[in-house]
């Protein structure tokens, strides 16, 4: 099938990309005007807690937002989210504002299952995003700690906004985004997250894509029809998060926001908000379907299994399921992060070597001290498999890999220093990883 194309237009995705890090700039005009109607006799879409969607709010953002100002801004933003999304809030959503320092302190002291963490680290190492000197947990904490602007807590039915200012600030885009999550929870719930990395990103593509799509519309209306509070950093003492984080990891976990909003845009264009609502009971099966909406819902992933050909020194982790699927979006992130492709639109998630993905399976191994893995990918055609194979060799080359013989490569040093056997056969590409060349057959023998 080769290159699938990008589906709908990019939906101003550059704006969505900026929103994740520095968040969008927009209208800073003074509040004025108001809705011609008074308070309605009963609750209705576009009115919440005394505010219509186009009512002014009396706030002074220069010195931060006090409790009454936050209540007003939240009420009007709820009304505006209702107006855009055509859904009614069933109850008011409490909103707290914390400093980034407090947010980081609250995230510390995680812990978790050590076996699963080691298994997961091998998965992220297989796509050259998290190396041996770090871990997914640490890299994720650093990345989210620097980029998160807010979150919705389903257990508390509450929103927490992260402020980079000494005084409590509110980013209007983040508030709108998180209010959509509260609206989703009240109407649909969040459902299962998925067993594999690819399923999780695809499932979240509905949840985060819906919210991102709404906050893009929200920002566009701030720049045209609505009077809006100024964004942090536009004269109110606000700032932005730091810049020291894993950009390959960010590109991966940002998939549901960017590709998801494109996907939701396509569904809404075809079926309206009713069609978007139906997605919560029929989520995409893969990030391939997010990136290429025309493949939803018919093109399901290929079931790829990896036979165990290890010797007694190496074993699979005691994890269920024993394999993970990274999917098209994570492969794309690997290629971009390691310079194998240079797309014009970084957040479009579309490249020739990653398009045409059919399925994949990563099986991590351990000998008790070191890690290894077998990664098999399936492609729609031999051409697609060849394009991926060539791009993967470019990833190895970016890490100064030597080619001592045939299909064996060695990265001599650095975070990904290991041996690799890379074999393409028809529409399949199998990658075997081990600490040394002699260990390749021990992890996965060639003859079986």
What tokens were used for 122?
Answer: 């091998």
66 Rama class: left (phi>0) / alpha (psi -120 to 50) / beta = beta
Does the predicted model carry a pTM greater than 0.75? Answer: yes
Average pLDDT over residues 148-171: 89
231 vs 334, more confident: 334
DSSP of 317-359: -S-SSS-B--HHHHHHHHHHHTTS---SSGGG---TTTTTEEE
- Phi and psi torsions of 235, nearest 5°: 95, 5
- The pLDDT assigned to 40 comes to 80
Q: How does strand 51-52 pair with strand 371-379? A: unpaired
Q: Give the model's pLDDT for residue 448.
A: 53
Looking at the domain assignment, is residue 300 inside a domain? no
Residues 107, 165 within the same domain: yes
Same-domain check for residues 263 and 344? no
Residue showing tokens 């080619």: 403
- Residue 122: inside a domain: yes
Residue 433 lies in a domain: yes
Q: How many domains does the chain have?
A: 2
Do residues 51 and 126 share a domain? yes
State how far the Cα of 229 lies from the Cα of 241, in Å rounded to an integer.
20
pLDDT at residue 181 tops 80: yes
Mean pLDDT of 162-172: 86
328 and 255 part of one domain: no
User: Could you give the CA distance from residue 299 to residue 220 in angstroms, rounded to a whole number?
Assistant: 33
The tokens of 243 are what? 């810049």
245/354 same-domain check: no
Interval 52-69 mean pLDDT: 92
Whether residue 118 has pLDDT greater than 90: yes
- Is the per-residue pLDDT at 110 higher than 80? no
Residue 103 lies in a domain: yes
Residue 195: give the domain boundaries.
13-291
Do residues 230 and 57 lie in contact, with contact meaning Cβ atoms separated by under 8 Å? no
Does residue 33 form part of some domain? yes
Share of the chain above pLDDT 70, in %: 88
In this structure, is residue 448 part of a structural domain?
no
**Whether residue 444 has pLDDT greater than 50:** yes
State the residue for tokens 């190496």: 314
pLDDT value of residue 434? 98
Is 183 contained in some domain? yes
Does 242 or 356 have the greater pLDDT score? 356
Kindly state the helix (H) or strand (E) to which residue 433 belongs, with its residue range.
strand 428-434
Please give the mean pLDDT across all residues of the chain.
Answer: 89
Return the percentage of the chain with pLDDT > 90, whole number: 75
User: How confident is the model at residue 34, as a pLDDT?
Assistant: 63
Is the bond leading into 340 cis (omega within 30 degrees of zero)?
no
Whether the per-residue pLDDT at 66 is higher than 60: the answer is: yes
Are 322 and 279 part of one and the same domain?
A: no
* Element housing 421 (H / E): strand 418-425
Q: Do both 135 and 178 map to the same domain?
A: yes
Cβ atoms 23, 174 nearer than 8 A: yes
| Cα–Cα distance for residue pair 426/448, rounded to 1 Å | 19
pLDDT confidence tier of residue 169, bands split at 50, 70 and 90: confident
At 6-57, the pLDDT tens digits run: 333 333 333 333 333 333 222 333 344 567 677 787 889 999 999 999 999 9
pLDDT-based confidence at residue 197 (cuts at 50, 70, 90): very high
Contact 284, 267 (CB under 8 A): no
What does the pLDDT read at residue 308? Answer: 97
Distance CA 359, CA 300 (A): 9
Read off the DSSP letter of residue 44. B
Give pLDDT, residue 239. 39
Residue 253 to residue 2: CA distance in whole angstroms: 25
Pick the range with the lowest mean pLDDT from 4-13, 126-135, 253-262. Answer: 4-13
Selection from 252, 128, 151 nearest residue 200 by Cα: 252
pLDDT tens-digit series, residues 361-384: 999 999 999 999 999 999 999 999
Residues 125 and 187 in one domain: yes
pLDDT band for position 112 (cuts 50, 70, 90): low
Instruction: Give the phi and the psi of residue 182 in degrees, each rounded to 5.
Output: -65, -40
Beta pairing, strands 51-52 & 47-48: antiparallel
- Which one has a higher pLDDT value, 134 or 209? 209
| Rounded-to-integer distance, Cα 409 and Cα 447, Å | 19
Peptide bond into 321 cis (omega under 30): yes
Predicted local confidence at residue 212, as pLDDT: 98
Q: Is residue 302 part of a domain?
A: no
In this structure, the chain runs to a length of 448
């Amino acid at each position: 099938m080769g290159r699938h194309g990008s589906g709908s237009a990019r939906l101003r995705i550059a704006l969505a990309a900026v929103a994740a890090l520095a968040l969008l700039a927009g209208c800073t005009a003074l509040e004025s005007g108001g809705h011609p109607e008074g308070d309605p006799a009963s609750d209705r879409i576009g009115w919440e807690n005394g505010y219509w969607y186009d009512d002014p709010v009396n706030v002074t953002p220069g010195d931060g937002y006090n409790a009454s100002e936050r209540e007003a801004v939240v009420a009007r933003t709820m009304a505006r989210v209702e107006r855009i999304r055509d859904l009614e809030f069933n109850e008011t959503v409490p909103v707290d504002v914390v400093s980034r320092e407090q947010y980081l302190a609250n995230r510390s002291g995680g812990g978790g299952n050590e076996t699963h963490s080691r298994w997961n680290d091998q998965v992220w190492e297989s796509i050259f995003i998290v190396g041996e000197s770090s871990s997914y947990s640490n890299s994720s904490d650093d990345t989210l700690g620097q980029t998160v602007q807010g979150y919705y807590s389903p257990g508390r039915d509450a929103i927490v906004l992260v402020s980079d200012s000494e005084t409590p600030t509110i980013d209007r885009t983040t508030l709108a985004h998180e209010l959509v999550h509260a609206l989703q929870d009240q109407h649909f719930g969040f459902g299962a997250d998925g067993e594999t990395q690819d399923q999780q990103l695809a499932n979240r593509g509905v949840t985060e894509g819906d919210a991102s799509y709404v906050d893009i519309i929200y920002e566009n209306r701030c720049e045209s029809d609505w009077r809006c509070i100024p964004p942090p950093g536009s004269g109110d003492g606000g700032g932005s998060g730091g810049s020291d984080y894993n950009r390959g990891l960010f590109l991966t976990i940002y998939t549901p926001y960017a590709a998801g909003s494109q996907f939701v845009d396509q569904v809404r264009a075809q079926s309206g908000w009713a069609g978007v609502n139906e997605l919560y009971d029929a989520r995409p099966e893969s990030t391939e379907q997010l990136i290429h909406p025309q493949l939803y819902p018919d093109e399901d992933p290929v079931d790829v299994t990896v036979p165990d050909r290890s010797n007694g020194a190496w074993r699979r982790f005691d994890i269920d399921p024993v394999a993970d699927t990274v999917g098209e979006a994570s492969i794309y992130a690997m290629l971009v992060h390691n310079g194998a492709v240079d797309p014009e639109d970084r957040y479009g998630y579309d490249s020739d070597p990653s398009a045409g993905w059919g399925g994949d399976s990563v099986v991590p191994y351990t000998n008790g001290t070191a890690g290894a893995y077998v990664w098999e990918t399936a492609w729609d055609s031999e051409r697609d498999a060849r394009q991926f194979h060539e791009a993967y060799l470019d990833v190895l080359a970016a890490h100064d890999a030597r080619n001592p013989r045939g299909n064996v490569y060695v990265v001599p040093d650095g975070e990904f220093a290991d041996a690799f056997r890379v074999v393409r056969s028809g529409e399949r590409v199998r990658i075997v990883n081990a600490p040394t060349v002699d260990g390749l057959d021990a992890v996965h023998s060639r003859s079986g």
